Chains A and B, each alone.
Chain A
Amino acid sequence: MNLESDKPAQHDEARRYFLKQSSLLTALALVPGPVVQAASAQFDETVAAAFEKVPLKLEVNGKKYKLKVEPRTTLLDLLRENLNLNGTKKGCDYGQCGACTVHVDGQRVNSCLSFAVMHDGKKVTTIEGLADADKLHPMQAAFVKHDGFQCGYCTPGQIMSAVACVREGHADSEGEIREYMSGNICRCGAYTNIVAAIQEVKNGGQKV
């Protein structure tokens, strides 16, 4: 587990935790001592070695985290595997489907295509951070109302993208919505209803 508190997650994460810890220990055993010690805070100009975990500060859905991650951990894998925020989905994992869409400093991005360590100090919002406690975000409510999904796998990415689409001012017409939502693929083909949901939110004038 990569949380600085270093407490294993509760419930059913024990096995996953064990596997991660044991593979990390094996890895560390192969790395020369001085290299491991380079994991100090001063790493901006210092090479972080391949197996070494590097410090990462991140605010996710309003909660601040001090983490240590391997440089090759993608933002998507960090969210899902380390922070147990499984709402963000891994679809293609190659930036082609949009299921992994989250907001970083308010901008929608594909979390599968960037390394978590590159987002040091930034604020991330995932689908879990959209609702106001038990009150759905207007876009979530509109997706429910308009049946903007069937299987639901692409839905978190669709909704995160849809919120950004409205905020950016790219939801003025059906054509514009379709163009600016083209980075989110829905294999069930719920596009008509997704567009209807976005139009309702856009035209409803609610704060998104």
Chain B
Amino acid sequence: MKRVKILVVCGSGVATSMHAAYKLREYLEKENLNVSIDGCGNNELPYRAESYDIIVSNAQVTVDLGKPVFSAVPLLTGIGEKELVQQIADTVRKIGTDGQNSNNK
């Protein structure tokens, strides 16, 4: 399975994205998924998104990035957190196993 790259985004990249990224990493490592997770501020999203497979954002993403985008807010409030992590894990498995067809460069 290829390594799946996840970018966690928040408004300024100074607070909530780091926390969300930390929690997500904990969950996905427990599931033995091969992921790398980075955090950034929303202003960096347009040019950083391209090199990632999945975007998880605290802030609303209004542009079409052509890849799966999830809300990170459940990782902050705990509401719907399990479901979110499950969805992300499923997406990671899917992208990881059809690596050869992926549009990842």
A is bound by B: no
User: Contact residues of A with B, CB < 8 Å?
Assistant: none
User: Contact residues of B with A, CB < 8 Å?
Assistant: none
